[in-house]
Amino acid sequence: MKICCLGWGSLIWDPRDLPLGSIWRTDGPLLPIEFARQSADDRITLVVTPDALESPVLWAELDVDTVQSACSVLAAREGIPAKFVDRSVGFWSGDGKRSNHEQADVVGEWAVSKGLAGVVWTALKPKIGDEYRTPSLDEVVLHISGLDAEPGTKAKEYISKTPPQIQTEYRSAICRRMDWNV
């Protein structure tokens, strides 16, 4: 039974304890991804964002036996408390179960075409400061430009290490406005 995890950001280059059962493949489903979430360490990270440009995300098999255990290991890697797993980890299962995440049907159609039994993905919401909403490009650039040395370096690193196939409206504009050649 093949169960996979979708990825588009730090899961790719820093999986930590995520039990990967394969390499990351580049032919994942098309999802609307954008740099639209201020993380706890002040980086602006990629999340599924309504109305964003669609990018082909990456995927890797997980060394797990059930979709439930895949949700648990992904939540642990992402630092998502158990009480928030239902709203912060998306899933689709070949037995007809799926999360309420708006991309579950798209992911399911793709999973069927790949012969997968289940798929999980990080389903954190866009956020800036304490507000759960999609920040504007100006807000994102203002936030990044106001970071001190270490957080600023981590913010740049996140954007530069993002797989090249993840091309978003904000990514190119951030690099241009920050004068980053990544």
Rounded CA separation 174/120 (Å):
29
Beta strands in 49-113 (DSSP E): 54-56, 58-61, 89-93
pLDDT score of 181: 84
Which pLDDT does position 1 carry in this prediction?
Answer: 82
Q: For position 77, what pLDDT does the model report? A: 98
pLDDT one digit per residue (tens) for the chain, 182 residues: 899 999 999 999 999 999 999 999 999 999 999 999 999 999 999 999 999 999 999 999 999 999 999 999 999 999 999 999 999 999 999 998 999 998 999 999 999 999 999 999 999 999 999 999 999 999 999 999 999 999 999 999 999 999 999 999 999 999 999 999 87
- Domain ranges in the chain are 3-178
Quick one: tokens of 178?
Answer: 């920050």
Query: Does residue 56 sit in helix, strand or coil?
Result: strand
The pLDDT value given to residue 33: 97
User: What is the per-residue pLDDT for 112?
Assistant: 97
Query: For the sheet containing 54-56, what is the strand order?
Result: 44-48, 30-38, 54-56
Q: Identify the bridge partners of residue 121 per DSSP, sorted by sequence position.
A: 90
Contacts of 168 (CB under 8 A, 6+ apart): 33, 34, 35, 46, 52, 53, 55
Whole-angstrom Cα distance, residue 97 to residue 80? 21
Given this model, what pLDDT does residue 62 score? 98
- Does residue 31 sit in helix, strand or coil? strand
Q: Is the pTM of this model over 0.85?
A: yes
